[in-house]
Chain A
Amino acid sequence: MANPFLRRATEYIRDAEAFLSIVSPAPLTTFLAGHKRQNELFDHPIRIIGSPGTGKTMLATLAEFRMVETILSDLNSQTNRPLARALADAGIVVDQKPHVAAVRVPMESEYRDFWELPYPPHIKTRLAFWLLQARALLGLIRGLTANGKRDLSQIRFRPRADYDAHIDQIGGLTADGVRRRALAVERAIYSVGSSLVPPKLEDLPEDATAPYDPFDAIEAVEIDWNGQPLELRPLAMLDDVHELHHEQLAALFDVMSRREMRFGRWMMMRLDALSPSAVLQSAGSPPAANRSEGRDFIDVRMQVDIKKADARRKFRTIAQDIANRYLPMIETFRNRDTPKIRDLLSTAQPTISKSKLDDLRTRVDRSQDDLEITSERRHSIEALVSEYVTNVVPQMPEDIELAMVRILMHRYDKRRANSTPSLFDDGDPDPKTPLEADRSVAHGAMIHLHHIYKRPLHFGIEALCDASNENAEIFLNYAGALVAEVETRAIRRRSLMLSADVQQTVLGDRARAIIDAWTFTHASKVRQLVYKMAADCVEKSLEPNASLDAGANAVAILESDFENIRADDELLLVLKHALANGAITIERNYGQGGKLWCLVELTGTVCLASGLTFLRGGFLPKKVKYLREAIADA
């Protein structure tokens, strides 16, 4: 079997048991159960927004009725129990019974094709909307009968009050009638959208033009549940609505967000479906289809909506949970105790070779000579570093100590140059701001050693999680590459734990492969932008005095300048796609030095590929022109 880490979660969907054994309830708990308006998630239209790989499809599949029924059918199973708890927390299960009949409707490219038909926009929208309603009902009925627990005669639809007149147009209230009508509508409308030469407007088939509004008409579904009647809230989860044209999506959203509709509607989309200003969270970004968030619809953002440092900590738990579910699926581990992902990744500090260490010593001595630093000053700097090592990191390797000394000598030189000369200057004045040896200098030293001597920088489970920017798919991609290496070692009967060197090589190669494989819109411009930013950040990080400590991994534009970029500027479009596809992150109104900045940060993937730190905060102040030039001529 292929490395399960490297397969998309959607490939497991065909087999409920296989899917449930790998799915983590964490996204359900984090994004739905923990949502501040969790009680209203089935009443209002919901936009579930996330980058590719954040688990939208996985979440929708888990919420589908057939999966919920499978989970509830065996609550003694260790796999099912935590999933059932998460479903209950999200309101999908109540009293160990389903509360919602949910169906996932993939918005395949055929819906987008309707936008190319030679009809007025409202007709094209209506055709696509009716097709998706028909498919939602067909999928819902299929889901309700999928596990063989009931047949069509045990399913009935309850109409909204005062909607009795609409019952005929949806095929009645029986599952059989509703299904037949939905099939007829699907066939008629599909044939229009997929035809080589679309029929004239007046020649559209009757089933494609007769009124059909089941989302308006249906309020509840009644089914037989273990011999008892049970009423369920219907819910259509439209997956990948970003595939639609943006005008088509706006029109469809307008139709779907009618308040009186009782059929639940979740629209799952990638960030790039939103306008650049909405993605980049500009102030005063226009509302979606003249509806306002909070009142007419609710947004669920599949990113942890708390401080980024907390988000990282939270994601580390989610990621390890996912990885530990995948590991037992690897055949090689079946005959031995399956290890935990944490135990496979060594966190022991690597050391550079003796010859490199000798070279480093020479380099430090040369710096001392070049900077004309006295022996006494060097001794005092070495004492500072030794004190830090003794008190804080007793196991610190010598190479980091030496690199720290070198950085501090350069810092001393800078501070000496900036101090006012004294008549009694002996060439070794004490700097106004005393030197400090601390964690940040150590980080700077590690960056220097990584670039000069290829000493590993990114290793250990926390680095693996941080490299993923809270994206489960990216995490699995990196973890999969590491696990493949572990598998080889298992076959060769060697120790499973990967050294820092191996981790760095595997992760770096994978990061570069991910960037090379970007094929989204404006990918080449995005690639050019991040490589330019990364090159400048590396240059800054390698300053001998490590002025930004662990170095830079971002550029910052003054917020006032960024706000002035026109909404239709190509730069915003490129930044939107970069953000939506995990090349950069953006933080607005980042306060630093008494100014507000728009921080454009490189993601873990780019940092891995370029040897930059994952630590946040180091940035290069730039102008908008810098970004514009970086994407030119791609």
Chain B
Amino acid sequence: MREHWLNCITHFDGKVDDFIDSYFTSQDKRALLVAAAGFDPRSRRVTELLSQRMGDRLSAIFIREERPGANEALQSGADRNEAFLRAVVPDSVVTEIEIFADDGAAIGGSQIVGELLNHPFGTDVTDVIVDMSALSIGVGFPAARLLLEECERRGDCVFHLLIASNPDLDDEIRSDPSDRAGPVKGFAPLPSIGQDGDLDVAQIWIPQLAQGLGSTLAKIGQQFPNRYKVCPLLPFPSRNPRRADDLVTEYVTEISEEWRVDPRDLVYASERNPLDTYRLLSRLKQRFDRAMEGTYALQMILSPIGSKVMAAGAMMAAIDHDMSVHYVETESYTFDGALPRDTSNAPEGASTLVHVILAGPLYANFPTSLTSTEPEESR
């Protein structure tokens, strides 16, 4: 358990700029940024912010997620973003990650892990930053976990998450799911079934509800026909105060009839603060553990397919408490909105910027589990 995550350092919106101004301008900082170079208008914002302050002290690995049959408009949007990113961070590589194998299986997770292992960061790097804004969870989660664990192992390297989130924009980007649901690479622990292996597994599925993704969640849910309980996760507080209500309306059939959710099992977390999602899931885990001890083996399964900020909180919970993360990879995207050339000039309030520091020497006084070489034992 990473005690410091319950209350770790976070910044929002303008405070993120202030933090970057005060922290990354220091000449002894050398940072590695891992970010997406896709069509998503949010691909540029974080890179631009950092490059303006750090200049040649910033290096980057830009990930281009390749999906077969992407349409021309999105391809050219991604090309423009890639050229921009290369220009503002000269010390960068662009890595193409095939999201699907020739049989349609999602392999983005394995691919990104292989790529990052091929590009280990140097000992001179003081900060590793993962920009989750435009990375899909099938790629972003394994990348973040790998780099986080490496920073924790080193002990002297700070690990940051940065997210430019815009749930309204998420709603505008339509995605066609592939036909296979499955776990995210590195997020499929086997439940502990007791010393004698005689406990039945109780699966608690926590789907994060998001607009227009009913069929995706249905596919994921079919993987757990024997689930014990479903606890839908709703965004509240949220920028649109009615978003949770709208989602309940949209998913009323699933909630009341398909998943048979007890109204007390609906859970809420802030759309703006990833720590809220993390704390909520940690609390749930504690309570279920207590209730099921000696009777069932708990397996919590998260499906954070909505807001990126909440997904980041879910990822923290999954890493810290060994929860499973199941998803359906996106086969193709449709985005009817204009692809702005430069989102840094977007009107104030269009996107929320969130920054979290998950590991580094600044938490040295907190108890942390991964200083040991045998994480399972020490946890």
Question: Which residues from chain A sit less than 8 Å from chain B, CB to CB?
Answer: 1-2, 7-8, 10-11, 13-14, 108-110, 112-113, 115-116, 118, 179-180, 183, 186-187, 190-191, 194-197, 243, 245-246, 517, 519-521, 524, 634
Contact = CB atoms under 8 A, between A and B. Distances in A.
B69 interface: yes
B190 A521 contact: no
Contact of A194 (B105, B188, B253): B188
A179 B197 contact: yes
B177 interface: yes
A14 B226 contact: yes
A7 B254 CA distance: 11
Contacts of B331: 519
A194 B190 contact: yes
A470 B67 CA distance: 34
Contacts of A187: 190
Contacts of A520: 104, 179
Interface in B193-226: 193, 197, 215, 222-223, 225-226
Contact of B223 (A13, A108, A245, A634): A108
Given A116-B110, A191-B190, 20 more contacts: A2-B258, A7-B258, A11-B225, A13-B226, A109-B182, A110-B182, A110-B188, A116-B107, A194-B186, A194-B188, A194-B189, A196-B113, A196-B145, A197-B117, A197-B146, A245-B103, A519-B176, A521-B104, A521-B179, A634-B69
17 contacts: A2-B253, A2-B258, A109-B105, A109-B182, A109-B183, A112-B105, A113-B185, A115-B105, A183-B197, A194-B188, A196-B142, A196-B185, A197-B113, A243-B105, A245-B105, A517-B215, A520-B104
A113 B110 contact: yes
A11 B254 CA distance: 13
B348 interface: no
B67 to A, nearest CB: 12
Given A14-B225, A197-B117, A524-B69, A519 B179 contact: yes
Contacts of B104: 520-521
Contacts of B321: none
Interface string B110-136: 100110010000000000000000000
Interface string B156-200: 000000000000000000001111111101101110010001000
Nearest to A61: B225
Contacts of B253: 2
Contacts of B374: none
B105 A519 contact: no
Contacts of A8: 222
Contact of B101 (A110, A180, A245): A245
A277 to B, nearest CB: 17
A196 B183 contact: no
Interface string B239-268: 000000000000001000110000000000
Contacts of B176: 519
Contacts of B113: 196-197
A10 B222 CA distance: 8
Nearest to A179: B197
A247 to B, nearest CB: 9
A187 to B, nearest CB: 6
Interface string B84-112: 00000000000000000101110100100
B113 to A, nearest CB: 6
Contacts of B179: 519-521
A484 to B, nearest CB: 11
A58 to B, nearest CB: 12
A43 to B, nearest CB: 31
A246 B258 contact: no
B177 A13 contact: no
Given A245-B103, A519-B178, A195 B225 contact: no
B89 to A, nearest CB: 26
Given A108-B223, A196-B113, A246 B103 contact: yes
Contacts of A113: 110, 185
A180 B257 contact: no
Chain B at the A interface: mostly helix, strand, loop or mixed?
mixed
Contacts of B117: 197
A195 B184 CA distance: 11
B189 to A, nearest CB: 7
Contacts of B107: 116
A112 B193 CA distance: 24
A521 B223 CA distance: 20
Contact of B257 (A2, A14, A196, A634): A2
A160 B149 CA distance: 48
Contact of A519 (B110, B177, B189): B177
Contacts of A14: 225-226
A11 B225 CA distance: 5
Contact of B146 (A191, A196, A521, A634): A196
Contact of A180 (B149, B181, B197): B197
Given A116-B107, A116-B110, A197-B113, A190 B190 contact: yes
A243 B223 CA distance: 13
A199 to B, nearest CB: 13
By Cβ-Cβ distance, the 5 closest A-B pairs, closest first, are A196-B186, A109-B182, A2-B257, A116-B110, A521-B104
A179 B198 CA distance: 10
B190 A13 contact: no
A181 to B, nearest CB: 11
Interface in B36-66: none
A519 B178 CA distance: 6
B183 A194 contact: yes
A2 B221 CA distance: 16
Contacts of B222: 8, 10-11
Given A190-B190, A197-B146, A109 B197 contact: no
A306 to B, nearest CB: 30
Q: Which of B69, B186, B225 has the most CB of A within 10 A?
A: B225
Contacts of A191: 190
Contact of A243 (B180, B183, B332): B180
Contacts of A1: 257
Contact of A13 (B101, B193, B225): B225
Nearest to B181: A109
A115 B185 CA distance: 13
Contacts of B149: 196
Interface string B19-44: 00000000000000000000000000
A459 B225 CA distance: 34
A109 B100 CA distance: 13
B225 A108 contact: no
Given A194-B188, A197-B117, A519-B176, A110 B225 contact: no
Contacts of B332: 524
A115 B105 CA distance: 10
A311 to B, nearest CB: 26
Nearest to B116: A197
Contact of A195 (B186, B193, B257): B186
A513 to B, nearest CB: 11
Contacts of A186: 190
Contacts of A118: 114
Contacts of B223: 108
Contacts of A13: 225-226
Nearest to B332: A524
A21 to B, nearest CB: 17
A18 B213 CA distance: 29
A198 to B, nearest CB: 9
Contacts of A243: 105, 180
Contacts of A246: 103
Contact of B225 (A10, A179, A634): A10
A116 B189 CA distance: 18
Nearest to A116: B110
B250 to A, nearest CB: 16
Nearest to A518: B179
A237 to B, nearest CB: 16
Interface in B141-160: 142, 145-146, 149
Contacts of A194: 183, 186, 188-190
